[in-house]
Structure 1
Amino acid sequence: MSNLPFWIVDVFAETKYAGNQLAVFTNAGDLSTAEMQQIAKEINFSETTFIRSSELRDGGYDVRIFTPATELPFAGHPTLGTAFVLQQSIIQQPVDQLILNLQVGQIPVTLNYRDRVPNMLRMRQNSPIFGENLAAEQVAPALGLAVDAIDSRFPIQEVSTGVPFVIVPLKTLTALQQIKVDVDRLLALVEPLQAKMVFVFCPETRNPANHFSARMFAYAVGIPEDPATGSANGCFAGYLVQHRYLGTAAIDVRVEQGYEIGRPSLLLLQAQAVNDGIEVLVGGQVVKIAQGQFV
């Protein structure tokens, strides 16, 4: 595992040291699964990615994604951050789109530039799949909230665009900020579910330019709280359309996340109902922080 080049970037960040941290290893073809897991645990970010080859396969680049505890078939901020690094370190010229080959399939990412550096990236996620509904009485105690903090007009529901999340609607920003997770209850809640991660949102924001505030908890996969979760926000975008939360079959919204853990993040969501499901786009900015080598 010697002389492995890597980048560190902040994803869904408008400035350095915000958003969600990501380490990207750019020449990881010789690493075993166990070695990649060891490195992800050492880095200890919510996710670390490994570009397996600089050569295209079926038009895309093979990439694997790991949390400190496990491999993921898909994740949002690793997709955008890895696309940024691929363009800057391997392709090294402007391209309008590139494709990542992930376990969930091929995920296209579009890129817009400023001074030849991507300043906005958007990924098209798989059409969301809607699963089981949960009762507020099940969920509220795990979040340390009263049952009436949950907005009963909309369901608590499992949703997946590749990785499933429990989507929980709250009424107010105050309730979102007051969440105190009971870890044992949260783990017991998700144990029988396909979804092991919980995404909580409300329609009140700190910044009046934004539309929603959110938090995401994933103790079951080694992430107590995530500062910016692209995969969960893709599920959320589908949820907003599916349940006509805003009264429309198409949405274009800004979501703030990460404030409670000192990593303010901004995610741009677009979604619309189409004949065969819901089309979902999740976008944001990526900021380069560092380059180096594992020795």
Structure 2
Amino acid sequence: MPKYDFVTVDVFTDQRFGGNPLAVFPDAAGLTDRQMQSIAAEFNLSETTFILPPADPRNHAHVRIFTPRAELPFAGHPNVGTGYVLACMAGDPPEHYTFEEAAGLVRVHILRDAGGAISGARISAPRALSLDIAVPIDLVAACAGLNEDDIGTGVHYPIVASVGASFVIAEVASLEALARAQPDLAAFRDGAARLAALPEHFAVHLYTRLGEDFLHLRTRMFAPLLGVMEDPATGAANAALAALLTSLAPGENVDLHYDIEQGMEMGRPSHIIASARKTGEGPVLATVAGSCVPVTRGTLEL
């Protein structure tokens, strides 16, 4: 009977049982697509990652990412957590890893604390910011269980944005409105049928400013069509958010760092540092960083 070792870590936190849990299979060679999907459904976390040998020996690994219902081309917290796990297993890891993923190459920089211990990772999104369709306010409000006047439009209208994975990004008018948001699965299904241009299994990422600070945000992310009613910490969505807001900031050469809270309403507080840079000549590029805490390890039998 084949056996596969796994570990779980909490990502975007320095406290066990905070952040976003992740299961990592460090040696997934031999698993089929169906088996990977079944294992992810069994763990029932936002994502589970499977590490395979790279196609190009210059890279460190081929990483596949599964939600309970589907494979993703790229995601943030799985890359941060997978980089952390590989670095801890290596003992003397390289400063950077390069992961092959469906969305492209993901560069992972290993972070250390003041004492030199491995503490987390910072990842570079595999693609520059791309913007797609504007999304009707009533559709976003329905999906989030909010009123239309809860959706802010002062900076931008709800829009599909991506730096490797697509999200509907919408500003919420207040912290109180953000706290009231609840995903409505029927509205998501209706939205997918109503607006064919939306990405398959579309997800909604909401944010609001904390006080007057443009760079301090709280977010929530709903992806029920992917089997994730709410995500405690979403690196790819917050990277896309940072890139979107930076693209709209005044000036041609802008480098901004966003301090983001997520997961508070779920009892899993998460802390994410998302950064984005734009120049007058080039694309808007984003990174996302955070700490990790080891939780469990075990063996799965097939």
Output the CA distance in 1 between the equivalents of 2:147 and 2:253. 30
Aligned-pair distance for 1:262? 1.2
Query: Which residue in the other structure is 1:142 paired with?
Result: 143
Residues 181 and 113 (structure 1 numbering): CA distance in 2 closer, same or farther, change over 3 Å? Answer: closer
Cα separation, partners in 2 of 1:120 and 1:246, compared to 1, 3 Å = farther
Q: Distance in 2 between matches of 1:170 and 1:283?
A: 24
For residues 55 and 164 of structure 1, the distance between their equivalents in structure 2, rounded to whole angstroms, comes to: 25
Query: 1:174 and 1:93 mapped to 2: Cα distance?
Result: 46
Other structure's SS at 1:62 match: strand
Asked if the contact 1:217–1:224 (Cα under 8 Å) also holds between the matched residues in 2, the reply is: yes
- Equivalent of 1:279 in 285, 288, 300: 285
Aligned with residue 224 of structure 1, among 210, 213, 229: 229
Comparing 162-171 and 110-119, the one that deviates more: 110-119
Matched with 2:95 is: 96
| Aligned 1:135-174 pairs, distance under 5 A | 135-153=136-154, 154-174=156-176
* Equivalent position SS for 1:57: coil
Contact 1:60 1:106 in 2 (8 A): no
Any unmatched runs of 5+ in structure 1? none
Q: Which runs of 5+ in 2 are unaligned?
A: none
The separation in 2 between residues aligned to 1:151 and 1:197, in whole angstroms, is 18
Q: Displacement of 1:56 after TM fit? A: 6.8
1:249 positional shift? 3.2
Moved more, 42-51 or 116-125: 116-125
Match of 2:78 in 1: 78
* Equivalent runs, 1:103-252 vs 2, <5 Å: 103-114=102-113, 115-125=115-125, 126-153=127-154, 154-191=156-193, 192=196, 193-194=198-199, 196-204=202-210, 211-244=216-249, 249-252=254-257
| Contact 1:19/1:265 (<8 A) preserved | yes
* Residue identity matched to 1:149: D
Matched residue type, 1:152: T
CA distance in 1, matches of 2:163, 2:100: 15
Alignment size in residue pairs: 292
Contact 2:67 2:227 (C-alpha < 8 Å) held by counterparts: yes
Question: Could you tell me whether the CA contact under 8 Å between 1:11 and 1:80 is conserved in 2?
Answer: yes
Deviations 1:121-174 (A, max 9, x none): 111112111011122123212222121111121220000111100001011100
Q: Deviations over 1:51-90 (max 9, x none)?
A: 113897332311111111111111110001111111112x
Q: Structure 2 length as normaliser, TM-score?
A: 0.90
- The CA distance in 1 between the partners of 2:23 and 2:184, in whole Å, is 30
Structure 1 residue 181: deviation in Å? 2.6
